[in-house]
Structure 1
Amino acid sequence: MAKKTDVQLPDRAKEALGVAKEAVGVATVARGFGKVALGLLGVVQVAFAFLAFWDLAWRDGDDVRGPKPVWVPVILINWIGPAAYFLAGIRHKR
């Protein structure tokens, strides 16, 4: 078994090592924040699609532009589908 020896580092190297350790800690926190943000964005997207499906299911067929079954695969397109349904798929009464 190899014998562990203590290495004496110059002060500047110790300082650089401390900065590097701090940078790794910041990067780890940033990566964790990114995962949380992506998770929240995914939840919002699923909720948006759910609301579009719910509205499509309960809305009268005369109030929807085009056949209702056509809107099902359209709504499945992330972000664009539900937005298209709410903006163009519903006949807005004026």
Structure 2
Amino acid sequence: MGRRWNELSQGQRGFIILAAVAESAIKAAMLIDLKRRPADQVRGPKWLWASSALVNSAGILPAAYFIVGRTR
């Protein structure tokens, strides 16, 4: 079983908080871009990409959207 929050060092806590903020920022950027982009410029259904924001993916799914999910 994992350690509790109060058992973590300050550095470990800071890393977790930084990672959560970074993941939230990239998910927000993905959702904003997805809302503004027309459906014909998105590979796959927009609702599927938007629902991927609900999954804890360590930023992999939003990065995938920016790399392969959009057309130019």
Per the TM superposition, whether the score is higher than 0.5 is: yes
Aligned residue pairs total 63
Counterpart of 1:70? Answer: 48
Tell me the equivalent position of 2:5. Answer: none
- TM-score w.r.t. the length of structure 1 is 0.60
Deviation string for 1:39-93 (max 9, x for gaps)?
Answer: 011101100100000100011111101221111122333212101111111012x
The within-5 A match list for 1:1-94 is 31-77=9-55, 78=57, 79-92=59-72
Q: Unaligned regions of 5+ residues in structure 1, if any?
A: 1-29
Q: CA RMSD in A?
A: 1.5
Moved over 4 A (4+): none
Fraction of identical pairs, as percent: 33
**For residue 18 of structure 2, what is the amino acid of its counterpart?**
L
| Structure 2: gaps of 5 or more residues | 1-7
**TM-score w.r.t. structure 2 length?**
0.76
Structure with larger RCO (C-alpha < 8 A, sep 6+)? 2
Larger gyration radius, structure 1 or structure 2: 1
2:22 and 2:37 map into 1 onto residues whose CA distance is 22
Give the letter aligned to residue 59 of structure 1. Answer: R
